[in-house]
Amino acid sequence: MSSYPITSKDFNTPCYFYDMELLVRTLDAIKAETAEYDNYHVHYAIKANANPKVLSCIAAAGLGADCVSGGEIEAALRTGFPASEIVFAGVGKADWEIQLALEKGIGMFNVESIEELEVINEMARKLQKRARVSFRINPDVGAHTHEHITTGKAENKFGIDKEDMVKVIRMAETMPLIDFTGLHFHIGSQLLVMDDFEALCIRINELQDELDSEGIYAPNINVGGGLGIDYEQPDTHPVPNFKAYFDTFKQGLQLRQGQQVHFELGRAIVAQMGTLLTRVLYVKHGKQKQFVIVDAGFTDLIRPALYGALHAIQNYTAEKELPTLKSSDNSCSENSSKRATAVTYDVVGPICESSDVFAKDLSLPETRRGDLIAIRSAGAYGETMSSQYNCRPLPQAHTTDE
């Protein structure tokens, strides 16, 4: 049974609920594991969760920001991240985004193509601004994760072919307002096997040897992010194994004198602190299956529909006998009579698409109309990817410090 601190506040559902105490614990764990490394710099990947309260908390902890759009740069600056600690990645940076980054003086661009370098150079010349660039190299390293979130293989759209690494650095050296600052890598997301990161270290070491032979020094090595979390047992492992993660790079990277190492963690920081709360609208008894139909859909949490992602799902009303929480359209809950201990359901949403399914063949306590359902580990790529398909309102977010 979860110890997650849902209270009996009045929440309209669906909505997100963020455990800020767990977020602080997670940030403290990162700081503890990196304290001995004065050359380690952690940037939070804003794409995981851009809630302003979450961003302000992370900025106050001293992390930098990893941004993939101009909007994320603006969000980072509004919530206290210093411009000098912002890195800007993405395969399709628009001109206005590049101009914004140059004018704000961000820490560095993670450049993904020769064509992008040429555009940044031209805009830097027009604005008479210096551009610090790190080149994202596609290391052709596989990752044990879903095919939609692997990014480091040769067939992926991300990064510059490793064979072109020296060529693009030499190009940058001819551009008077471009400062080459290092190399950037990212091989995928939701990685739980340290072997993937060990393979990345080996490839980085090989590429550094090549740079040495060319007399090129990279001040910064950015290894990206990708560390996963335990979606199946969120209460057993609320904080990821940051020690194993950072130790892997300590042991695996062969750094040159003075090199700085950058990390871009997103999911590992915010996933476990978030729960999507939703109400049961109907329990539908089909001929072959029973369906728990909730008021949240893939407009609120798209990961299961997009990736087939697994989230732990709990019936809080049945498990914890919480007081009935008010809902905008449904406040009925039959808590007075005894429930069956376990029934098998498909948990589905109201969207007019067959893919609007959160779980199939899931065992839950007997579930009834009005019950409060919690979809766990939803702090990353949940609220930030929500949409208004079917003209549905965006989910609201609440925090434990409200």
Q: Cα separation of 323 and 326, whole Å?
A: 9
Residues of the chain with CATH 2.40.37.10: 274-399
> What tokens appear for 227 in the block?
């560390």
Half-sphere exposure of 262 (CA within 13 A, CB side): 29
Helix then strand then coil, % of the chain, to nearest 5: 30, 25, 45
Q: Cα separation of 126 and 175, whole Å?
A: 13
Residues of the chain with CATH 3.20.20.10: 20-270
- Residue 336: partners with Cβ closer than 8 Å, 6 or more residues away: none
Closest CA to 109 of 56, 61, 175: 175
Measured torsion, CA atoms of residues 81, 158, 170, 173, in degrees rounded to the nearest 10: -20
Q: Which CATH superfamily is domain 274-399 in?
A: Lyase, Ornithine Decarboxylase; Chain A, domain 1 (2.40.37.10)
Q: Is the peptide bond before 14 cis (omega within 30 degrees of 0)?
A: yes
Query: What phi-psi label fits residue 190: left (phi over 0), alpha (psi between -120 and 50 degrees) or beta?
Result: left
Q: Global pTM?
A: 0.91
Looking at the domain covering 20-270, what would its CATH class be?
alpha beta
How, if at all, do strands 178-184 and 220-222 pair? parallel
CA-CA-CA-CA torsion sign (231, 235, 238, 240): negative
Closest CA to 255 of 281, 229, 220: 220
pLDDT tens for the 402 residues of the chain, in order: 344 556 545 679 999 999 999 999 999 999 999 999 999 999 999 999 999 999 999 999 999 999 999 999 999 999 999 999 999 999 999 999 999 999 999 999 999 999 999 999 999 999 999 999 999 999 877 544 444 434 434 445 568 999 999 999 999 999 999 999 999 999 988 999 899 999 999 999 999 999 999 999 999 999 999 999 999 999 999 999 999 999 999 999 999 999 999 999 999 999 999 999 999 999 999 889 999 999 999 999 999 999 899 999 999 998 875 444 444 444 444 444 677 789 999 999 999 999 999 999 999 999 999 999 999 999 999 999 999 999 999 999 999 987
